[in-house]
Amino acid sequence: EADIYQTPRYLVIGTGKKITLECSQTMGHDKMYWYQQDPGMELHLIHYSYGVNSTEKGDLSSESTVSRIRTEHFPLTLESARPSHTSQYLCASSETQGIHEKLFFGSGTQLSVL
Amino acid sequence: AQKITQTQPGMFVQEKEAVTLDCTYDTSDQSYGLFWYKQPSSGEMIFLIYQGSYDEQNATEGRYSLNFQKARKSANLVISASQLGDSAMYFCAMREGPKNDMRFGAGTRLTVKP
């Protein structure tokens, strides 16, 4: 099955800190995504990438930024965390952008900003 | 406008019985893909089943089947012989053009009673 990893699994930090959520996949997928999900709610696409050096913003406005320097790595950074950033962040990838392509998800990072 | 609608915030089913989770979608595309994911309390997203808009037969995967009614734009998930481990959030999702990004519904929380 899928090999996509997110670290850390849980993160509790204070307001104003800079944080980076890591996401790596070993499947060689070009397409990678970040979704934000509040507890028990729907997933919102906040960033995506179609390949190296390609990043785009998703539907939901986010103060986070992403980079894609290597195919396997798609980190998400918050320069100054705030309590409103408290949420679960899910990273995903797919082999292509075809309509039939399922997403493979990581286990998620649960972020709490105090 | 909401692309994916799941009208049942919560559902209960008795163990060993079948349950249907509703999903309707909105698209003007002729070509699109429909997906169902399961999210246990641990937070990861598990792919269950896929239906393409051109598929004439309803998709089935073990105890999961998708009741696809194209004219009604509905893609309901049917779980047969419910098990306690089926208790989770269930998300309906769709890929459509031009970017084919995957969009999710608000989810249905299923609880299986012993």
**B96: nearest CB among A58, A99, A107:** A99
pLDDT tens for the 114 residues of chain A, in order: 559 999 999 999 999 999 999 999 999 999 999 999 998 888 999 999 999 999 999 888 788 999 999 999 999 999 999 999 999 999 999 988 888 899 999 999 999 999
Chain A neighbors of B37, CB-CB under 8 A: 105
Residue-level pLDDT at B1: 56
Q: Give the minimum alpha-carbon distance from A1 to chain B in angstroms, rounded to a whole number.
A: 11
**A99: nearest CB among B46, B100, B107:** B100
Chain B neighbors of A33, CB-CB under 8 A: 101-102
- How many residues are there in chain A? 114
CA dist B67 and A10 (Å) reads 37
Both structure tokens of A90: 């899910």
Quick one: three-class SS letters along chain B? Answer: CCCEECCCCEEEEECCCCEEECCEECCCCCCEEEEEEEECCCCCCEEEEEEECCCCCCCEECCEEEEEECCCCEEEEEECCCCHHHCEEEEEEEEECCCCCEEECCCEEEEEEC
Closest CA to A63 of A74, A78, A82, A75: A78
CA dist B65 and A28 (Å) reads 30
Question: Residue B23 in contact with residue B73, Cβ under 8 Å?
Answer: no
Could you tell me if B96 lies within 8 Å of chain A, comparing CB atoms?
yes
pLDDT in tens, B40-55: 998 889 999 999 999 9
pLDDT in tens, B76-88: 999 999 999 999 9
Q: Do B50 and A88 touch (CB under 8 A)?
A: no
The residue written with tokens 């169902």 in the block is: B36
Q: Which residue type, as a one-letter code, is found at position A62?
A: S
In three-state secondary structure terms, A16 is coil
Residue-level pLDDT at A1: 56
